[in-house]
Amino acid sequence: MDKIAERILRKIGIPDFFDRVCALDTADFNSALLKLFSVRTAQSSPQKVLRTFRENRFVVPGRVDPVKLHQLEFDLLTRASEAGMETKLLSPVAPMGSCSVFGCVSQNNVVSAARNVEVLSDPTNVLAIMLANEIMGNRVDSTAGTHYAATARVVRGQHVRGNHLCAHFGLFCIVSTAKDRGSYQCEKELLTYHLQFYKRLLETTYDGKTAILLRRRTGYTAYEDFFERMYSAVQELFPDSSISVDLESEQNHYYKGLNFKLYIQKDGETIEIGDGGFVDWIGKMTGNKKDRCFISSLGLERLLLF
């Protein structure tokens, strides 16, 4: 992007153009973007719109049956509600920087927009923002676990290749928060809550076996001891599941202490369908390091393969 930016600056002849624009307050910055978009679209035509539809990978329609997809969303949200989660209907846009400001994702991998928003790229970030807002307003009992669930269609900026992959896809996700009570008890409860939900879902609905990969991450002072405790808890709770570990990829600024990958084994195939782990997003927003946050998600299109 730096080389592209340098080329643009040479074309317009204003070396500090980006610095000047970014120095504007939010209202003027948005007005400048809206003016640019307005001038740009005024130069367009119906034929150009059709050409964009043909050529732009972000607008390619999904390949799955929408009836089956929406039925799956209904089933997952119903199960989540029955399990004590509060289900949410998310906006198709999120606050600007909802992913990148937490140091997790480059803004270049998100479709940015005007009016201080971006196209939704990860519903877990938005649910975490909602939970942090509730905590700050004293509307959440943070001593007990609070769980939000949602389905959403998301758009990612990075290029993707392969069967059943495109720039937009559906996710079911759960975001949970609770206050640290010491001895990793809070973390154990959040981790096993998510895994129990997914195990019941996969084995009762899809008649498949659950396989879990646990990855050790840094982020906790005694992260090795933390991982061992979480691993023991998962082993105890799921004695009939395939559980493996990855101790080689500890450095990961997205997850803290541990993350998991979830697989379903059926008819001789093993397919990854989801992942999750501990993040520090809610603690960063509330300013309280004791506010724990656990996130997870499933790929809807992948579930429709079964």
DSSP 8-state class, residue 61 = P
What is the pTM assigned to this prediction?
0.92
pLDDT along the chain (306 residues), means of 10: 87 91 92 92 95 92 93 97 97 94 86 92 96 94 88 85 72 96 93 94 86 93 94 92 88 88 87 94 95 96 86
Indicate the burial class of 300 (C-beta count within 10 angstroms; 0-12, 13-18, 19 or more).
Answer: buried
63-92+119-303 CATH choice from 3.30.930.10, 3.40.190.10, 3.40.50.300, 3.30.200.20? 3.30.930.10
Would you state the pLDDT for residue 209? Answer: 85
Would you state the pLDDT for residue 253? Answer: 78
For residue 214, give the 3-state DSSP assignment. Answer: strand
Would you state the pLDDT for residue 162? Answer: 56
Alpha carbon of residue 153 to chain centroid:
11
Half-sphere exposure of 258 (CA within 13 A, CB side): 28
Would you state the pLDDT for residue 175? Answer: 98
* Domain boundaries, given as residue ranges, for the chain: 2-43, 63-92+119-303
Would you state the pLDDT for residue 306? Answer: 77
